[in-house]
Homo-oligomer: A and B are copies of this chain.
Amino acid sequence: MIRYLTAGESHGPKLTGIIEGVPAGLPITEDEIALHLARRQKGYGRGGRMAFEKDKATISSGVRFGKTTGAPIAMQMPNRAHEKDDSNWPKVLAKEGNGDDVDPITVPRPGHADLTGVQKYRYDDIRPAIERSSARETAMRVACSSIARKFLKHFGIEIGGHVTRIGKVGYEQPWEDVRDRVDPMLEDGAETIFKTADESPVRCLDEDLTQQMRDLIIKRRKEGSSLGGHWEVVVTGLPAGLGSFVHWDRKLGGQLAQAIIGTQAMKGVQIGQGFESGRRHGQVVHDEIIHEDGTFKRRTNRMGGLEGGVTTGMPLIIRGVMKPIPTMLTPIDTVDIHSKEKTDTRYERSDVCALPRAIVVAESVIAPVLANAFLEKFGGDSIEEIEERLDQ
């Protein structure tokens, strides 16, 4: 079983991650991890942070001569902002001292964990909530997940995502239009999707929508507002029979949903046709079973590759929503936590729309879940051992 912990503040010296339970013998390099870190940093609608934040995760254990050893893999990723910024982060986030010369943040931003952080941890300075709840943390989650992703890829399982909506701009028929476009691409594996989407500045597969999304982002930026949107991630190559229906917490869909909604700003998730299936009736929702080329297939894939919480062998389709970024140039009302007086939200440098970047996070965080379901079925302490089983 793969498990991982991440640590680190947004403007602290570094992010740290440890991932444990990866079988021995998996080929992995820092460059392969850097690929998804770089993808996570690209995307239209970014604010000013991009320039000084070229992420690279440095592995310091668990990998030897280009392969995992089975031991825990530790990674570090410095926050360039920590030293270079004029915001004096080493002082603001000093681990020692009493902080007397650092002004506390006392104005919580709605939509962030600012106020809830204060309520939970009794902070009298919101700073620690800002720092840890920031989406910066997702960089290390992507790094850890990239190793699980490489494991899946080794066994032919590919993951790819794309943006389907930003604010009011999106596919007219969110299910049919997307299927028409995406499904034919899947023959070559789901990575085709992200490679294609990566060519769009907003990671949308449709050119016209891409242009409209950019325009909308420009408009909302001018207004000092922000945007979120909808996304889809597809996984190809999953064998049938991962997950289980025998107990609720073993259903793969539920585990995937936790990984997604456990990600910053994600407020909804659906498998396959999802919410749309509630608007239709059974005859047009369920996927007829056929037998072709020696295997069971489905004529359609409205269930998104999961039935009873178990993979069907069809592509996994998972879709979600990211809320608009809470930090906005045009302030909204809030209250100072000390004075209890009404005030405006303060602005911290921020993207207008983080969805094109967040796609990479959504692609990533499901990888450890899928790798664990795979390991549960095939077992094994080494890649070699697993390969033998699959070759049987």
Contacts and interface: CB of A to CB of B under 8 A. Distances in A.
Interface in A1-22: 1, 3-9, 12-18, 20
A60 B14 contact: yes
A5 B5 contact: yes
The 10 closest A-B pairs by CB, nearest first: A379-B379, A113-B308, A254-B262, A268-B270, A226-B282, A16-B74, A282-B324, A116-B310, A7-B74, A7-B72
A99 B272 CA distance: 37
Nearest to A13: B60
Interface string A230-247: 100000000011111111
A111 interface: yes
A53 interface: no
B6 A65 contact: no
Contacts of A214: none
Chain A interface size, as a band, is 35 or more
Interface centre among A14, A120, A223 (most CB of B within 10 A): A120
Given A119-B240, A298-B110, A277 B64 contact: no
A379 B377 contact: yes
Contacts of A340: 291
B248 A111 contact: no
B379 A245 contact: no
A323 B278 contact: yes
A241 B170 CA distance: 35
Interface in A212-235: 220, 223-230
Contact of A310 (B29, B93, B119, B392): B119
A312 interface: yes
A249 interface: yes
A128 B278 contact: no
20 contacts: A7-B20, A16-B18, A17-B18, A30-B96, A76-B76, A111-B287, A113-B308, A119-B240, A120-B244, A122-B384, A133-B308, A168-B280, A223-B281, A251-B261, A254-B259, A254-B263, A267-B278, A268-B275, A273-B323, A296-B335
